[in-house]
Amino acid sequence: MKVLHLLKTETGAMWALRQIEVLRSEGVEVAVTLPTGKGKIADQYRALGVEVIPGQFDLPVRRPWTLPRVMKQLRQVVATVKPDIIHSHFVGTTYLMRLALRNNVKIPRLFQVPGPLHLEQGPYGFIDKLLATEQDHWMGSCQWTCDKYRSMGIPAERVHKALYGTKISQFVEQRTNLLRTEYNIGDETPVVGMVAYMYKPKTYLGQFVGLKGHETFIMAMKKVLEVMPQARGVIVGGPWGNAHSYEQKLQELAKTHCGDSIIFTGFRSDVGQIYRDLDAVAHPSLSENLGGAAESLLAGVPTIATNIGGFPDIVYDGETGWLVPPRDEEKLAQAIIEALSDPAEAQRRAAQGRELAVRELDVNKTARDVLAAYRTILQEVERHEAVI
């Protein structure tokens, strides 16, 4: 079996690298497209025996006049690689793939949907379905996404499911005190964390606050501090892309409402080691797949998330964590206070959450779910060709 993966970034999408590592171990032949084919991630793919093909095969929204050329280039790549399946990881690469190939190329195509955002925004879900042909299949990375496609009229047999997995060994179960020592936070100080990149609002999509809900977290912490003034908030993660001015606005908002009680650490490469320094973690996203909840559960940290997207797949309210409505700073503050006020109950939920996450989010399992979908798709193609 040979699979062509369409990727549009050389600085992220580590889930794809982890997934492909397992697929290679299962004997799948893999080729990937990367914008330049250079750099650390490209070298990691090559070390796995993956063919790396330079090329930016994302929909050229800002340079639409280049679309015919890019489509032609993708058709040439497909003709050269001759894959059994084409696996797209992003909305833009999927749109381009479908426009370039249409019904002229009888190769099954799988869109592994990275999150529900485009299905929640105006016409994008309609465009997703409109561009699809009988060669197209979808793989939801949470139950909400799978249900949404089926509600749009996509046949159930063309909708598959596989969660994004990770290497669970990177998350330590014991407190390291790395974060607390660095910022001079005592062992007895309750610390609430939020771990997320800062995505500035996209006003053209009607967004006026960030996608990850940093504003909600800051205002919830204001209410927490009114009850527990000794508590501290820690925001881990830097601005995504050109969101530096948005980061500054968040820092100013925190200073105005919480004084010096919220620390901004910027980007950290040791998240797996510092999670256990936190007494609770909040994920107040407005749109999300499993997001950072997967990481905090794997680290065994009490987890609070919004009741949207894929969070309910792993955060069960009252069992593995807390679920609160999005944009609701009052309910988020209440959940944080509850978690900090009852450590025994918080740890009970965290332990159950970790058990669930270890069982469901090990990349060795999730990548084999992807492989099972490949086999199902190819078997369906064989049956269809036999009938013809």
Task: Give one DSSP letter per residue of 32-70, joined into a string.
Answer: EEESSS-SHHHHHHHHTTPEEEE---S--TT-GGGHHHH
Q: Are residues 236 and 259 in the same domain?
A: yes
pLDDT at 384 over 80: no
Q: Are residues 257 and 237 in the same domain?
A: yes
Q: Are residues 153 and 23 in the same domain?
A: yes
Q: pLDDT band for position 122 (50/70/90)? A: confident
Q: pLDDT band for position 124 (50/70/90)? A: confident
Give residue 21's domain range: 2-166+363-387
CATH number at residue 117: 3.40.50.2000
Q: Are residues 368 and 341 in the same domain?
A: no
pLDDT value, residue 202: 75
- Please give the average per-residue pLDDT across 307-322, as a whole number: 97
Q: Are residues 66 and 211 in the same domain?
A: no
pLDDT at 225 over 70: yes
pLDDT at 387 over 70: no
Q: Are residues 207 and 226 in the same domain?
A: yes
How far apart CA 331 and CA 279 sit, in angstroms, is 18
Q: Are residues 122 and 244 in the same domain?
A: no
Q: Are residues 27 and 176 in the same domain?
A: no
User: How many structural domains comprise the chain?
Assistant: 2
Contacts with 127 (C-beta within 8 Å, 6 or more apart), sequence order: 95
What is the per-residue pLDDT across 66-78, written as a single tens digit (0 to 9) for each?
A: 999 999 999 999 9
What letter would DSSP give residue 88? E
pLDDT at 123 over 90: no
How far apart CA 275 and CA 298 sit, in angstroms, is 10
pLDDT value, residue 386: 65
pLDDT value, residue 167: 87
Contacts with 91 (C-beta within 8 Å, 6 or more apart), sequence order: 59, 114, 118, 124, 128
Q: Are residues 301 and 283 in the same domain?
A: yes
Q: pLDDT band for position 203 (50/70/90)? A: low
What letter would DSSP give residue 157? G
- Please give the average per-residue pLDDT across 88-95, as a whole number: 95
Q: Are residues 230 and 310 in the same domain?
A: yes
Q: Are residues 63 and 78 in the same domain?
A: yes
Q: Are residues 367 and 315 in the same domain?
A: no
